[in-house]
Structure 1
Amino acid sequence: MLTQLYLIPTPIGNLEDVTLRALRILKEVDVILAEDTRTSGKLLKHYDINKPLRSYHIFNEHKAVASLVQTMQEGKVMALMSDAGTPSISDPGFLLVRECLANGIQIECLPGATAFVPALVKSGLPSDKFIFEGFLPHKKGRQTRLEGISDEDRTVVLYESPHRLVKCLDQLIRHCGEERQASVSRELTKMHEETVNGTLKELKEHFDKGPIKGEIVIVLHGK
Structure 2
Amino acid sequence: MSESVLYVVATPIGNLADISERAISVLRSVDLIAAEDTRHTRQLLMHFTINKPLFSVHDHNEEQRVSRVLDELSQGRSIALVSDAGTPLISDPGFVVVRAVRQAGFSVIPVPGACALVTALSAAGIPTDRFCFEGFLPAKSSGRKKQLQKLAEETRTMVFYESPHRVLESLKDIAEVFGEGRELTLARELTKTFETFLSGSLAEVIEQVEADSNQRKGEFVLVVAGADESSDDDEGSVAAGRVLEVLLEELPVKQAAALTAKITGQKKNSLYQQALSMQKN
The TM-score range, normalised by the shorter chain, is over 0.9
Whole-Å Cα distance in 1 between the matches of residues 63 and 157 of structure 2? 33
* Larger RCO of the pair (alpha carbons < 8 Å, separation 6+): 1
Q: Is the 8 A contact 1:6 1:108 kept in 2?
A: yes
Could you list the runs of 4 or more consecutive aligned residues of structure 1 that deviate by over 6 angstroms after TM superposition?
none
Compare the two structures and name the one with the higher helix fraction: 2
CA shift, 1:142, in A, is: 3.1
Q: Any residues of structure 2 matched to 1:104-123 within 5 Å, and which? A: 104-123=105-124
Unaligned runs of 5+ in 2: 228-281
User: Is the aligned partner of 1:135 residue 2:136?
Assistant: yes
Compare the two structures and name the one with the higher strand fraction: 1
Q: Any residues of structure 2 matched to 1:58-207 within 5 Å, and which? A: 58-139=59-140, 141-207=143-209
CA shift, 1:74, in A, is: 1.5
Whole-Å Cα distance in 2 between the matches of residues 60 and 194 of structure 1? 34
Q: Is the 8 A contact 1:2 1:106 kept in 2?
A: no
CA shift, 1:143, in A, is: 3.0
CA shift, 1:2, in A, is: 4.7
Aligned partner of residue 134 in structure 1, secondary structure: strand
Whole-Å Cα distance in 1 between the matches of residues 144 and 177 of structure 2? 12
Aligned to 2:43: 42
Aligned partner of residue 90 in structure 1, secondary structure: coil
Percent of residue pairs bearing the same amino acid type: 46
Q: Is the 8 A contact 1:3 1:108 kept in 2?
A: no
Q: Is the 8 A contact 2:9 2:88 kept in 1?
A: yes
Total equivalences in the alignment? 223
CA shift, 1:204, in A, is: 0.8
Whole-Å Cα distance in 1 between the matches of residues 173 and 109 of structure 2? 39
Kindly name which structure, 1 or 2, has the bigger radius of gyration based on alpha carbons.
Answer: 2
CA shift, 1:40, in A, is: 0.9
CA shift, 1:73, in A, is: 1.1
One-letter amino acid of the counterpart of residue 13, structure 1: G
Q: Is the 8 A contact 1:3 1:107 kept in 2?
A: no
CA shift, 1:160, in A, is: 0.4
Unaligned runs of 5+ in 1: none
CA shift, 1:137, in A, is: 2.0
Whole-Å Cα distance in 1 between the matches of residues 119 and 28 of structure 2? 28
One-letter amino acid of the counterpart of residue 203, structure 1: V
Aligned to 2:31: 30
Cα separation, partners in 2 of 1:3 and 1:73, compared to 1, 3 Å? closer
Whole-Å Cα distance in 2 between the matches of residues 76 and 45 of structure 1? 22
CA shift, 1:34, in A, is: 0.8
One-letter amino acid of the counterpart of residue 56, structure 2: S
Q: Is the 8 A contact 2:144 2:173 kept in 1?
A: no
Aligned partner of residue 27 in structure 1, secondary structure: helix
**TM-score in terms of structure 1 length:** 0.96
Deviations 1:8-67 (A, max 9, x none): 000000000000000011000000111111111111000000000111111111111122
One-letter amino acid of the counterpart of residue 66, structure 2: V
CA shift, 1:144, in A, is: 2.9
Superposition RMSD in Å:
1.3
Aligned to 1:216: 220
Worse-superposed segment, 66-75 or 136-145: 136-145
Worse-superposed segment, 20-29 or 204-213: 204-213
Deviations 1:113-171 (A, max 9, x none): 00011211211110000000011122475333201221100000000001100000000
